């Protein structure tokens, strides 16, 4: 039964990653001084989301075949939750430095103003790069898990 929950969770988290990737890309296109690193980060987040979707797809197929052990399902869930944390941390950094509240209490994006003036991208870049390194590690673990699933499936055939 845990397999059903993890598949839904993986797909939802992949969507969070894709929305974050689009936000990063929009920022990079909106801001004249934006570093090419933002585009690179956007692509990395997008690729991680794609790998998450692939993992979800394989676990969905595994429901009937029962190739994955309970431990593999738990490991996948841990990886997915770690990806979500990283996505939220990156998004939090962006929101903190690109959003302001109006006197009426509404949030507005101030991307160009933020990066051109107050946002210290070189300082923030180090923190975001650390988060991207974590995503790379998690992505490698997911790819290894996909390989193990493919190998187990091959052995069963």
Q: Express each pLDDT in 112-130 by its tens digit.
A: 555 444 455 666 777 888 8
- Residue 30 pLDDT class (50, 70, 90 cuts): low
Q: What is the pTM of this model?
A: 0.75
Is 70 exceeded by the pLDDT of residue 41?
yes
Share of the chain above pLDDT 70, in %: 74
Nearest one of 68, 71, 60 to 14, comparing CA atoms: 60
Query: Residue 142: in which H helix or E strand, if any?
Result: helix 121-156
- In degrees, to the nearest 5, what angle opens at C-alpha 122 toward C-alphas 21 and 101? 65
Q: Greater confidence, 101 or 52?
A: 52
Over residues 30-35, the mean pLDDT reads 59
């Amino acid at each position: 039964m845990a397999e059903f929950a993890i598949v839904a969770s993986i797909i939802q988290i992949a969507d969070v990653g894709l929305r974050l990737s689009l936000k990063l890309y929009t920022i990079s296109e909106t801001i004249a001084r934006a570093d090419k690193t933002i585009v690179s980060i956007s692509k990395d987040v997008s690729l991680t989301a794609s790998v998450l979707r692939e993992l979800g797809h394989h676990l969905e197929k595994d429901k009937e075949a029962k190739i994955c052990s309970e431990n593999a399902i738990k490991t996948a869930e841990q990886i997915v939750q770690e990806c979500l944390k990283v996505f939220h941390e990156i998004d939090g950094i962006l929101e903190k430095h690109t959003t302001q509240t109006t006197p009426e209490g509404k949030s507005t994006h101030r991307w160009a103003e933020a990066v051109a003036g107050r946002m210290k991208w070189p300082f923030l870049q180090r923190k975001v790069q650390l988060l991207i390194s974590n995503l790379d590690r998690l992505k490698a673990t997911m790819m290894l898990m996909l390989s193990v699933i493919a190998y187990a499936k091959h052995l069963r055939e």
